[in-house]
Structure 1
């Protein structure tokens, strides 16, 4: 009897891998273990659920039972995987042992909540899954004043979405500008302006120090001495890969679960992809690298070893009031910028020491130039 492919996790990476496998092989045994219901949904849509007045069920593209039937998988929903035994090639879940031929870690990530002081920290909300959306939806709907921790990609998108619903939003970011890990300040300044035009209080170069309960809400204080009274606090301070299972199984873990070019971990027949995987020293929690990883890993799992090749990739910032698209390297070792600004928006090209195009950022109406620039970027690199 052939042992199955076992996948831990039911997020985008896991389900994209299954869909890719099934395009080639419809019969091999696949078991999926997930601690939630296992519905198929598009996680990036969570950034806009409040302005669209959506409910959790609106995001589900395929129920867990329908997914299991359509893709011929055995789905172990609401099941906790307790341990991995690489030597015996087995996992233990809910006290039972399951053997595998190949094991895939698609355990995803969780929202990082900084270690603040105060008795209100345990009430800080996060929005990184359908399950979390279900848990916090009513609290967000009832709130009038909300503080968002983190002015990166997710925090900025979420703040603007909530502001669109008429709520008073305060955005606290420790860096000097929004999207600091993605773009230079001159590009994010118009985004900051767009946020303020939506009524968002943008508090830069500052950190939340404490969250304390009040009779009707929370008092949030910052390192620069600001104090805000809000109905709830949402952390969007970044994502941390879920690596605990890998650590306990003595797999090599750095920021994420370290994998080689074939997405294999330090243990034979154990692979990782998606938000939990560290590829070439980076954790890339974006759709395109996950799609490419799923395509390569599906071939490897089915018997054809395939190395992952990562080209330049495009990132879209889903802020309707100030749309932004970028690709390539836009944050480190930039020799010079070529910037063109007009009434239609901004087009900024980044060049390296050899005067080669290394990345670009386009905004507003200029986003229509993204794909021509993307082709140019891939030609020069």
Structure 2
């Protein structure tokens, strides 16, 4: 039986794993199979391409071939995995059948597109490849609607506005960043968006997007119609669990793994945006880095390796109004202590006995975030 580590996917999680394994086992055979080009880029930079006037090719940091050479691994770009045979420990791909000793699914997530009338006209922005497909259209667009006021939607809306485009932001929630900010704290961010000229439509859903003589006519549930040039859908990601499901692995929100990143199927592991750890998805850089380091130890024979996640800092990367948050701001026992001045605001969420459960830092007060982060209890 082969000892090869085979990784499906070539995004941030996969590359972190390869580098971590190489530090521990320089000679261990590694094979990467990915449906995209396999070129390395920083995904968070997608939210800033318009104000920086960057093309999709400008984002490439290292070619797939150079990465494979530098890390002594075999990489198959533009190659789909069709099936996993868990009993025989092999995968069937467009490039042939490959045996594995350990198989890692770093399949990421797929952009959610609501099934509205005209949904095929919505643009998604979940990868460099998706940006490349829509780049010319978005550069030419003068008025862009962004659907979704979460982390990515807010960052894209601000970046498009800073690039001189007219922007309409739509979300079905009644407040901005509804998974990060309690309603009490949405005001400053809303003011920052208005200052940039972003038009907000909250408590509204998109019903249809159809062409008319001036572009695309987007109809909202509020009865309002907005004519725009393009619509970007940024309502969230759905973990890509298709291969895991076909292999018989347990799937809930994502691919369920334990604290060694193992699935319910022997020799099958999951990592990154598709992995569900402790009942939660962790689509952020820090937990992915820690997960990759832990899994590398497991794959190279260290049975004592177990994932421990510290409190995670969420950064809203908006230069005009930065926000950093951590903890559970929606905990029922949180009592907020707020300090604000001309430079921004810090909100500390504590229990009655003084235990810090969450914090929010706005503007220049983000300098306080690291110190507060150290006061939060560990997650697991």
- Please, which moves more after superposition, 225-234 or 178-187? 178-187
| Contact kept in structure 1, 2:241 and 2:251, CA below 8 Å | yes
TM-score, normalising length: structure 1? 0.97
**1:40 aligned partner:** 40
Report the number of matched residues: 379
Q: What's the TM-score, normalizing by structure 2?
A: 0.97
Q: Where in structure 2 are the equivalents of 1:121-270 lying within 5 Å?
A: 121-270=119-268
Counterpart residue number, 1:329: 328
Are 1:352 and 2:351 counterparts?
yes
In structure 2, what is the equivalent of residue 104 of structure 1? 104
Verify: 1:299 aligned to 2:297, yes or no.
yes
C-alpha separation in 2, matches of 1:366 and 1:114:
37
1:340, CA displacement in angstroms?
A: 1.0
Residue correspondence of structure 1 range 278-293 to structure 2 within 5 A: 278-293=276-291
User: How far apart, in 1, do the equivalents of 2:78 and 2:378 lie?
Assistant: 47
Match of 1:28 in 2: 28
Residues in 1 aligned to 2:294 and 2:363: alpha-carbon distance in whole angstroms: 34
The 8 Å contact of residues 310 and 379 in structure 2, kept in 1 or not, is answered as no
1:216 Cα deviation from its structure 2 partner:
4.2
CA positional deviation for 1:358? 0.7
Partner SS state of residue 300, structure 1: helix
User: Relative to 1, partners in 2 of residues 1:269 and 1:354: Cα closer, same or farther, differing over 3 Å?
Assistant: farther
Q: Structure 1 residue 3: deviation in Å?
A: 3.1
Check conservation: 1:333, 1:352, Cα contact below 8 A.
Answer: no
Q: Which runs of 4+ in 1 moved over 4 A?
A: 378-381
What SS class does the counterpart of residue 377 from structure 1 fall into?
Answer: coil
Unaligned runs of 5+ in 1: none
User: In the alignment, which residue of structure 1 is the partner of 2:2?
Assistant: 2
CA contact (8 A) 2:214 2:227 kept: no
Correspondent of 2:269 among 271, 274, 285: 271
Distance 2:379 2:286 in 1: 20
Q: Does structure 1 retain, via aligned residues, the 8 Å contact 2:108–2:274?
A: yes
| Structure 2 runs not aligned, ≥5 long | none
1:372 aligns with: 371
2:340 aligns with: 341
Query: 1:303 and 1:348, CA in 2 relative to 1: closer, same or farther beyond 3 A?
Result: same
Paired with 1:194 and 1:143, the residues of 2 have a C-alpha distance of 23
2:51 matched to which residue of 1?
51
Q: 1:212-254: per-residue Cα shift (whole Å, max 9, x none)?
A: 1223421111111110001111000011101111112221111
**Structure 2 CA distance for partners of 1:184 and 1:101, relative to 1, 3 Å:** same
- For the aligned residues, what is the CA RMSD? 1.5
| Alpha-carbon distance in 1 for matches of 2:13, 2:184 | 34
Give the superposition deviation at 1:35: 0.5
Question: Shift of residue 59 of structure 1?
Answer: 1.3
Shift of residue 376, structure 1, vs aligned partner: 2.3
Contact kept? 2:309, 2:378, Cα under 8 Å = no
- How has the CA–CA distance of structure 1 residues 73 and 379 changed in structure 2, closer, same or farther, with 3 Å as cutoff? closer
What pairs with 1:109-120 in structure 2 (closer than 5 Å)? 109-117=109-117, 120=118
Q: State the alpha-carbon separation in 2 of the partners of residues 220 and 343 from structure 1.
A: 38
Distance 2:214 2:108 in 1: 35
Give how far 1:357 is off.
0.3
Cα distance between partner residues in 2 of 1:380 and 1:258:
17
Indicate the SS of the match to 2:337.
strand
